[in-house]
Amino acid sequence: MKAAGDAALAAIERRLGHDFAERSLLATALTHATAASATRGTYQRLEFLGDRVLGLVVTEMLIAAFPEASEGELSLRLAELVRKETCAEVAAALGLASAIRFGGGKGQRAVLATTNVLGDVCEAVIAAIYLDGGLEAARGFIAAHWQERVKRAALPMRNAKAALQEWAQGRGHGVPTYSIAAKSGPDHEPKFEVEARVDGLGPARGVGRTRRDAEQAAATTLLTREGVWPTRT
């Protein structure tokens, strides 16, 4: 059984492009709280560290890629590149979903293998590489999976809610208001639909995993519809 486990970890190492001197770090990075035991930790502490390592390296990449960008622009780009959804995309591309150790059977795996979990595991793997091989190893892994994202990432425009409020008040429409139009999905991965309203204009809706994200999406929709912001392709 141990040999089979070692073979599985070796296969993951090949996909990650890093040979672990301390393979137990990788095993921990792939262990969910439901599979914890007295001898096996979980990815939670590693995820905390990996989030910081990812932020540092992506910040370095942005500074190099956009030497004329303002702090605000860099902050918006960084937030887009290190969000859970982006990390989950990397984890999915590497086939990490099937490698995560959960307690329970296949039904439990299906329930727990959410975007948040995949994102956390990706960050935990980054931390494992960092602890095993140092910052340069982590930097190499992140560059391999984020460089193209840095290049092709559309510039997140200014804070949409702030921009909408500035525009609306400047034209005498007052302060925009937001209300939840619908909420769906399970508690661990909800989806919000929010409606933005500005006096004298038709309402606009946006969807997001949090109320805040949905409000930003609704504000963006309204700004785009009114021609304040260009349509993004």
Return the percentage of the chain with pLDDT > 90, whole number.
Answer: 51
Tell whether 101 and 19 lie within a shared domain: yes
Pick from 154, 190, 150: nearest CA to 65: 150
Q: Please return the burial class of 124, using the count of CB atoms within 10 Å of its CB with bins 0-12, 13-18 and 19+.
A: buried
Tell whether 32 and 138 lie within a shared domain: yes
Q: Please return the burial class of 64, using the count of CB atoms within 10 Å of its CB with bins 0-12, 13-18 and 19+.
A: exposed
Pick from 128, 161, 134: nearest CA to 30: 128
Tell me if 230 is assigned to some domain. no
Amino acid identity for residue 40 in this structure: R
Coil vs helix vs strand at 83: coil
- Read off the pLDDT of residues 110-132 as tens digits, 9 standing for 90 and up: 656 788 899 999 999 999 999 99
Tell me if 176 is assigned to some domain. yes
CATH code of the domain containing 81: 1.10.1520.10
Tell whether 13 and 128 lie within a shared domain: yes
Tell me if 231 is assigned to some domain. no
The residue from 152, 177, 202 where one domain ends is: 152
Tell me if 232 is assigned to some domain. no
- Annotated catalytic residue, options 6, 19, 47, 51: 51
- pLDDT above 60 for 26: yes
Tell me if 233 is assigned to some domain. no
Tell whether 129 and 215 lie within a shared domain: no
Supply 155's token pair: 């510039």
Tell whether 44 and 113 lie within a shared domain: yes
Active site residue 123: yes
The total domain count for the chain is 2
pLDDT category, 163, cuts 50, 70, 90? confident
Tell me if 167 is assigned to some domain. yes
Give the pLDDT of residue 80: 80
The answer to whether 174 touches 183, Cβ cutoff 8 Å, is: no
Tell whether 117 and 202 lie within a shared domain: no
Tell whether 166 and 148 lie within a shared domain: no
Q: Which residues span the domain enclosing 123?
A: 2-152
The residue from 128, 152, 176 where one domain ends is: 152
* Pairing relationship of beta strands 191-197 and 177-184 according to DSSP bridges: antiparallel
- Annotated catalytic residue, options 123, 132, 195, 215: 123
Active site residue 13: no
The answer to whether 19 touches 10, Cβ cutoff 8 Å, is: no
- Angle between the N-to-C axes of helices 71-81 and 44-65, in degrees from 0 to 180, rounded to the nearest 10: 140
Supply 19's token pair: 């040979």
- Read off the pLDDT of residues 54-71 as tens digits, 9 standing for 90 and up: 999 999 999 999 888 777
How much is the average pLDDT of 125-152?
Answer: 95
The residue from 110, 133, 152 where one domain ends is: 152
- pLDDT above 70 for 2: no
- Read off the pLDDT of residues 206-219 as tens digits, 9 standing for 90 and up: 998 889 888 988 99
- Tokens 């890629």 label which residue? 65
pLDDT category, 1, cuts 50, 70, 90? very low
What is the CA angle 61-66-72, rounded to 5?
95
CATH code of the domain containing 193: 3.30.160.20
